[in-house]
Structure 1
Amino acid sequence: MIFLCAGILILPALIGADSRTGRSDPQTLAAVEIRSYQGLDLSSVNDFRENSILGPRYVDISRYRLIITGLVAEETVLTYDEILLKYPHYSKVVTLYCVEGWDATILWEGVLVRDLINDAGADPRANTVIFRADDGYTTSLPLEYIMDKDILMAYRMNNVTLPAERGYPFQLVAEDKWGYKWIKWIETIELSDDPSYRGYWEQRGYSDSADTSESFYNR
């Protein structure tokens, strides 16, 4: 079951008086992980196994830039804050299924990849979206899949900012796809006209379609 709602941004706060102005200004407290949502039990942020190719990445957010490039009308470069301020926020409960045999159902919050691509302007020749990560990991998905579904680039999970181990600043929520399509630490989104492109695990025999209804390995 999937839920989608626009504009959700939960910032727990404590109201306290400012002795200098007499005003009550909010003081931000640390986020608390939620474990249920609209009657659904959620997995924990910790219910994931570390299986990245180089181990967790610790991205310097002050230097971070997301690049949207390739077959676009205008190459776009965005900071973390620009992404969060410019684009509508959405939340969605989606289950990640890992080829190792475990799964995790999480309330993801993020921005739509479709919105980022629309702003950059997709060239009519483009048919494939290639994602590149800080650790060199790559994967790809059909442009049609990205544009026709509400595919999130998540920055929060269960009401907490993504930990470094989970892909901070952004992880792709590739619903209905095996976990190796859920790329973490996204730094480049490239539009291409090459549907034969194969990412890190796809080059090693994993299915390029990665549909969870099918085997993940090409025999």
Structure 2
Amino acid sequence: MVLHGRMNFFIFLLVLLLVSGCVEPQQTPTANISETEDTFFAGRELTSIKEQRNNAIKGTQFINEATYTLQVTGMVNKSLNLTYEELLALPVADRFVRMDCVEGWGFDARWTGVTLSSIFNDSGLQPGAKNVIFYCADGYSTSLELDYLRGNDIMLAYRLNNVTLPSDRGFPLQLVAEGRYGYKWAKWITHIEVTDQSYEGFWESRGYSNLAILEKRGFLPF
């Protein structure tokens, strides 16, 4: 009976690993050596980039700044193809936000970028729009509710701890999904689609919550 119980426990752990981000290769992010990384912001200590853990489904994606565009399509009044320079020219958001992974780790950082509200001000939104899908260069995708994105001024970050977002952290853009688990923090974003339909992304289609709201008790969003 004891042996049987131990086998069940190990099977449970194996299943947990298979459905979690733990099976994905972890990378050690690197900051741009030509820039000086902030260590404090708004009176709070920041986790250095080299100490921030990072997961990705296909490893680091390297995107050419000169040819990059962010597509904005779907239920918008005007589709957009924003260059990196055009994104930098939009109103700047700058704030302290903690990222928490479902694996139980997290880090504190300064994020600088452009809010999705600023982008939607340019594109306009059609009546009935409810959700926004984020597509990434590595094939990853996820979605979030439009009301959450606009109500919380959620941003797409292009700087981390006051240095240009490193490639291994999602250059040129990482979604800063404040108050949601890390699998909603999409990296290497190339396309945003506004829709009235629900959408399950990479991890959500594998059983993770589509809301991914941080909980005070535990960290598994099932």
Runs of 4+ in 1 over 2 A off after TM superposition: 47-50, 214-218
Give yes or no for the alignment of 1:53 onto 2:57: yes
Stretches of structure 2 that go unaligned for 5 or more consecutive residues are: 1-32
Q: Note if contact 2:102-2:221 (Cα within 8 Å) is conserved in structure 1.
A: no
Q: Note if contact 2:42-2:96 (Cα within 8 Å) is conserved in structure 1.
A: no
Residue type at the aligned position of 1:51: N
Query: How many percent of aligned residue pairs carry the same amino acid?
Result: 44
Of 77, 82, 86 in structure 2, the residue corresponding to residue 73 of structure 1 is: 77
Give yes or no for the alignment of 1:143 onto 2:146: yes
Cα distance in 2 between the residues matched to 1:81 and 1:216: 38
Cα distance in 2 between the residues matched to 1:171 and 1:142: 17
Q: Note if contact 1:68-1:76 (Cα within 8 Å) is conserved in structure 2.
A: yes
Cα distance in 1 between the residues matched to 2:185 and 2:65: 21
Match of 1:39 in 2: 43
Match of 1:209 in 2: 211
Residue type at the aligned position of 1:145: Y
Q: Note if contact 1:128-1:140 (Cα within 8 Å) is conserved in structure 2.
A: yes
Query: What do residues 95-136 of structure 1 show as CA deviations (whole Å, max 9, x unaligned)?
Result: 000112111100100010111012111111210000000111
Q: Note if contact 2:94-2:110 (Cα within 8 Å) is conserved in structure 1.
A: yes
- The secondary structure found in structure 2 opposite 1:144 is helix
Query: What do residues 155-180 of structure 1 show as CA deviations (whole Å, max 9, x unaligned)?
Result: 00111001000000000000000000
Q: Note if contact 2:137-2:188 (Cα within 8 Å) is conserved in structure 1.
A: yes
CA RMSD of aligned residues (A): 1.3
Cα distance in 1 between the residues matched to 2:61 and 2:127: 35
Q: Note if contact 1:207-1:216 (Cα within 8 Å) is conserved in structure 2.
A: no
Of 84, 88, 95 in structure 1, the residue corresponding to residue 91 of structure 2 is: 88
Cα distance in 1 between the residues matched to 2:220 and 2:174: 20
Of 178, 183, 188 in structure 2, the residue corresponding to residue 185 of structure 1 is: 188
Cα distance in 2 between the residues matched to 1:48 and 1:180: 15
- The secondary structure found in structure 1 opposite 2:54 is coil
Query: What do residues 14-72 of structure 1 show as CA deviations (whole Å, max 9, x unaligned)?
Result: xxxxxxxxxxxxxxx93200111232111011223332010000001111110000011
Residue type at the aligned position of 1:203: S
Match of 2:105 in 1: 102
Residue type at the aligned position of 2:165: L
Residue type at the aligned position of 1:53: I
- The secondary structure found in structure 2 opposite 1:114 is helix
Cα distance in 2 between the residues matched to 1:180 and 1:164: 18
Match of 1:132 in 2: 135
Shift of 1:208: 0.6
Residue type at the aligned position of 2:122: D
- The secondary structure found in structure 1 opposite 2:191 is strand
Give yes or no for the alignment of 1:194 onto 2:197: yes
Q: Note if contact 1:66-1:187 (Cα within 8 Å) is conserved in structure 2.
A: yes
Q: Count matched residues.
A: 188
Cα distance in 2 between the residues matched to 1:120 and 1:138: 21
